[in-house]
Amino acid sequence: MEELSGPRPAKNGKVPVSGAGPTEPVGVWTRATDVCYRVLVARARDLTLSTGGRSALVLAPHPDDETFGCAATILRKRAAGAQVSIFVVSDGGAFNVEEMSRDELVAAREDNVREATRRLGVPSDDLHLLGYPDLKLRELVDSMTSRFAAIFKELDPDEIYIPSSIDFHPDHVAVHTASLRAVERSVSHASLYTYPVWFWSRKSWSVSGESTLRRKLLLSRVFVAAIRGLRPVKVRTEGHLETKRELMDIYGLELEPDYDFFEKWHLRDEELFFATSTHTRGRT
Ligand SMILES: [Zn+2]
């Protein structure tokens, strides 16, 4: 997750990691995304019963994305005894929090992700903080590709979870791109799933500006085509939803204006993913 501009400072000392993100107006977009979500869930292959016993590797661009995208799935796997490794790619230091130095911010965010990981039931040895510079990942795709390929080869997980590329945050897209290349390079046989973070935000769709009818029509066509091309899968959050809510609160999300967005899209009856492969390099 993580926004590109700074949030208000948290009043309780927690690090706010959301921020001045897109406030979703009630309107056509909201209604369209509601319908699309229902369509995707209805179409989705249900992995709830099969995923628990399968080992997984989760790549999070920032300290928090692992929770928003995959918390209930990780909890389910850990309850079944499966190994889960979490790799947090960036140091989270680009977030603008008043009265905190960059070093203090990085340290605080590290504390948060360690706490979240502990409560996810993932051993501390299976949390890896790669320390790449926040907001610079687009310039480091080659480096990340090599690093990820070595990781995939060494751990050889059953499943790999990466952020969706349908996301306005450049770090998320960069991690997605590097991950696909790394899977190909490492000849990994893992099932590859993308998880949405800002997917449902209008800002994540490439047609900018909505002042003309033509742009609106183009946006509609891009959106519908993308939704139709996705291969959704789902894992039910039943039994883990309250824990996920508590984990989200570790990141100070409740204090931020984006809370409604994340509550709406990331605290649902299921976690939604999109199956992908290096042979079908569509935006997922
Ligand atoms: Zn992020």
pLDDT confidence of residue 29: 81
Q: Which domains does the chain have, with CATH numbers?
A: 28-276 (3.40.50.10320)
pLDDT confidence of residue 13: 37
State the pLDDT confidence band at 213, using cuts at 50, 70 and 90: low
pLDDT confidence of residue 217: 66
State the pLDDT confidence band at 211, using cuts at 50, 70 and 90: low
| Summary mean pLDDT of the chain | 85
State the pLDDT confidence band at 284, using cuts at 50, 70 and 90: low
pLDDT over 60 at 261, yes or no: yes
Q: Which of 52-56, 92-96, 164-168, 255-259 has the lowest mean pLDDT?
A: 255-259
Q: How far is the CA of 26 from the centre of ligand 1 (A)?
A: 24
- Total-model pTM: 0.86
Q: How far is the CA of 132 from the centre of ligand 1 (A)?
A: 13
Who wins on pLDDT, 166 or 116? 116
pLDDT over 90 at 95, yes or no: no
Residue-wise pLDDT for 172-197, tens only, equals: 999 999 999 999 999 889 999 999 99
State the pLDDT confidence band at 63, using cuts at 50, 70 and 90: very high
Q: How far is the CA of 124 from the centre of ligand 1 (A)?
A: 21
What DSSP string runs through the chain? ---SS--PPPTTSPPP---S-----SSHHHHHHHHHHHHHHHH-EE-HHHHTTS-EEEEESSTTHHHHHHHHHHHHHHHTT--EEEEEEE--TT---TT--HHHHHHHHHHHHHHHHHHTT--GGGEEEEEEPTT-GGGGHHHHHHHHHHHHHHH--SEEEEE-S-SS-HHHHHHHHHHHHHHHHHT---EEEEE-SSTTSGGGSS----SSHHHHHHHHHHHHHHHHH--EEEEE-TTTHHHHHHHHHHTTGGGSTTHHHHHHHHSSSEEEEEEEBTTB----
Q: How many CB atoms lie within 10 A of CB 212?
A: 9
Q: How far is the CA of 198 from the centre of ligand 1 (A)?
A: 9
Q: How far is the CA of 221 from the centre of ligand 1 (A)?
A: 27
Q: How far is the CA of 188 from the centre of ligand 1 (A)?
A: 25
State the pLDDT confidence band at 277, using cuts at 50, 70 and 90: confident
Q: How far is the CA of 212 from the centre of ligand 1 (A)?
A: 31
pLDDT confidence of residue 202: 83
Residue-wise pLDDT for 5-37, tens only, equals: 333 333 333 433 433 344 545 588 888 889 889
Q: How far is the CA of 64 from the centre of ligand 1 (A)?
A: 7
Residue 130 CA to residue 57 CA, distance in Å, equals 14
Q: How far is the CA of 213 from the centre of ligand 1 (A)?
A: 32
pLDDT confidence of residue 212: 62
Q: How far is the CA of 69 from the centre of ligand 1 (A)?
A: 10
Residue-wise pLDDT for 31-44, tens only, equals: 888 988 999 999 99
**pLDDT above 90: percentage of residues in the chain:** 62
Q: How far is the CA of 197 from the centre of ligand 1 (A)?
A: 8
pLDDT over 60 at 75, yes or no: yes
pLDDT over 60 at 264, yes or no: yes
Q: What is the mean pLDDT of residues 145-151?
A: 98
Who wins on pLDDT, 102 or 238? 238
Instruction: Report which of 283, 261, 284 is spatially closest to residue 29, judged by C-alpha positions.
Output: 261
pLDDT confidence of residue 24: 47
